[in-house]
Structure formats: structure tokens, C-alpha cells
């Protein structure tokens, strides 16, 4: 088992000897894993937009927050799709240096929060085990749950982004059985692979709309006007 890398993350925590999780990883970091199929379209967009929006809110890189992605049939070593890069550029987000990855057990073990593009991806992650059920959601499912959480019940940001993020995941998991999707499709982000740029942009807008309340809840800072 390898130590968490920092190359694809936002911020780096300092590991204390006693500050470890059950799996032996640092408790002073919070790792978000975005999952789609090929890890060249949806999950790279979501990964890089998450980093971008956190940085926008806080004005700095989010200390202790690591954001990465992988694919259930990931194109290992592949670059991001060019239309996905264009979508990120539309939002002013950085697409550079991205390399596709196939989803591995180690990615799931290390993740504090797994956000998937679809319900099938969620099921595949949970089927891998590693007690992933309580920390794995579709992106839109997590957004719906986050919208129902009173921000006043979360730790303030001055107590640390990591502490706030962990509390947010616990609160969302507690609400899961009470706030079901109105339709099955409501929790899906459809695959734009091979589609023209306008469809990619529509998926980028969906991801943006879903991420906005999540990043606001994580940081305690609303979208800047």
C-alpha cells in the first residue's frame, strides 16, 4: 500500500504519527475521488472544476483537500478528451498535465468521498468493498443531499476544511434514505464521449450546477458574484 501522492491534489496535509485513518492514511487530508467510465471526459472535468471552484472560493489552494479521478474502464495513461479541455477552458479551469487512470482498489480505500457520474458507477465502486457504501454517491445525489443540510450544523471553516468535509459526508449519508431521486435519470450525468462540442458543454454546465452547492458546503463560501 503506497502513501497518498500529492501530484493530483489541492493542498498537502502534514501527517502526524497518531493522525491516521483505519487504513493508515492521514486524517489531516480529505480525498475526493471522481469516477466515470473512461476517465477522459466526465471525471476529468469534474476533478478539475472541483479544484478550480475551491480555489475560487478560498482564494488559495484548499489545505488538506486532495481531488483526483479514475475510470471503471479507465484509459490508463490517456490524455483528456480535447472537448473536455475546451469545457474546462470555458470555466477558466486548468486542464494541463492530466493522465487517465483505471479505477483500482487502492483509489477507493484512500478516498474519503467518492462521487460518480452514474448509478452504475456507484454500484461498481460499492461492489469493490472497502466499506465504500457510506462514502460513495453519484454527484447529483450528493448535491441533492447537501442541499438539505443546514450549513450551521457543520464545523466552521476555521476549524479546518478537512473536519468540515468529513462532517458533510456523514450528514449526507444520514439523509440518503430520506431524500430519494424524483426519477432514476435525475442522478445521472450522461457520457459525452464521441459527441460534438455543444453536448460536451451541456454536460459541463450540468457538472457545474451540481458542483456549485457541494463546493459552497465544503468551503462555507458561496459563489462569488
In the chain, what percentage of residues exceed pLDDT 70?
A: 85
**Per residue in 26-66, pLDDT tens?**
468 999 999 999 999 999 999 999 999 999 998 765 678 99
Q: Is 194 left (phi over 0), alpha (psi -120 to 50) or beta?
A: left
Q: 150-167: b or e for each residue (b if 16 or more CB lie within 10 Å)? A: eeeebbebeebbbbbbbb
**Per residue in 11-24, pLDDT tens?**
433 223 334 443 44
Amino acid at each position: 500500500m503506497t502513501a497518498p501522492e500529492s501530484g493530483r491534489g489541492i493542498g498537502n496535509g502534514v501527517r502526524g504519527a497518531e493522525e491516521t485513518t483505519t487504513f493508515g492514511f492521514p486524517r489531516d487530508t480529505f480525498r475526493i475521488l471522481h469516477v466515470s467510465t473512461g476517465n477522459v471526459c466526465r471525471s476529468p472535468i469534474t476533478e478539475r472544476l472541483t479544484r478550480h471552484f475551491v480555489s475560487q472560493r478560498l482564494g488559495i489552494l484548499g489545505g488538506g483537500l486532495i481531488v483526483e479521478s479514475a475510470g471503471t474502464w479507465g484509459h490508463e495513461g490517456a490524455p483528456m478528451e480535447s472537448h473536455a479541455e475546451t469545457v474546462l477552458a470555458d470555466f477558466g479551469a486548468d486542464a494541463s498535465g492530466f493522465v487517465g487512470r483505471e479505477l483500482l482498489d487502492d483509489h477507493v480505500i484512500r478516498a474519503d468521498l467518492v462521487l460518480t457520474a452514474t448509478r452504475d458507477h456507484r454500484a461498481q465502486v460499492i461492489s469493490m468493498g472497502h466499506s465504500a457504501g457510506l462514502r460513495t454517491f453519484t454527484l447529483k445525489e450528493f448535491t441533492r443531499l447537501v442541499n438539505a443540510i443546514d450549513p450551521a450544523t457543520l464545523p466552521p471553516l476555521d476549524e479546518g476544511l478537512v473536519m468540515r468535509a468529513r462532517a458533510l459526508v456523514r450528514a449526507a449519508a444520514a439523509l440518503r434514505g430520506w431524500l430519494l431521486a424524483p426519477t432514476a435519470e435525475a442522478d445521472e450525468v450522461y457520457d459525452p464521449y464521441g459527441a460534438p462540442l455543444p453536448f460536451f458543454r451541456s454536460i459541463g454546465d450540468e457538472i457545474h450546477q451540481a458542483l456549485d452547492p457541494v463546493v459552497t458546503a465544503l468551503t462555507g463560501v458561496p459563489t462569488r458574484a
